[in-house]
């Protein structure tokens, strides 16, 4: 199971991607995270449904200096590779 999330608000320039990667590692979810040019953060979260829900809940909060105003999610294909990675900004 996998979910793609778009996180809006003050989420760039505050360490959001690195925070997401650490939280993903703590929970044992797979996927990736990256900035998008319009100022949002996009993540693919893969794992069992309960762990994905926990990760999404954490993304709603974000790191202390961030401010999440909106999070949208859509079903997605699970990533081909195991683990969690920080990707370059989406074009």
Distance CA 56, CA 14 (A): 18
Instruction: Respond yes or no: is residue 17 known to be catalytic.
Output: yes
Catalytic annotation on 34? no
Out of 4, 10, 17, 70, pick the active-site residue.
17
Residue in 10, 35, 36, 53 annotated catalytic = 35
Tell me the pairing of strands 30-35 and 84-86: parallel
CA distance 30 to 76: 13
**What is the rounded CA–CA span in Å between residue 22 and residue 4?**
18
Active site residues: 17, 35
């Amino acid at each position: 199971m996998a979910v793609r999330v778009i996180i809006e608000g003050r989420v760039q320039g505050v360490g959001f991607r690195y925070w997401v990667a650490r939280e993903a590692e703590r929970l044992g979810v797979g996927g990736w995270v990256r900035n998008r040019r319009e100022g949002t953060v996009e993540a693919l979260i893969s794992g069992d449904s309960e762990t994905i829900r926990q990760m999404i809940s954490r993304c709603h909060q974000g790191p202390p200096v961030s401010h999440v105003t909106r999070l949208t999610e859509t079903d997605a294909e699970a990533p081909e590779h195991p683990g969690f990675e920080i990707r370059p900004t989406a074009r």
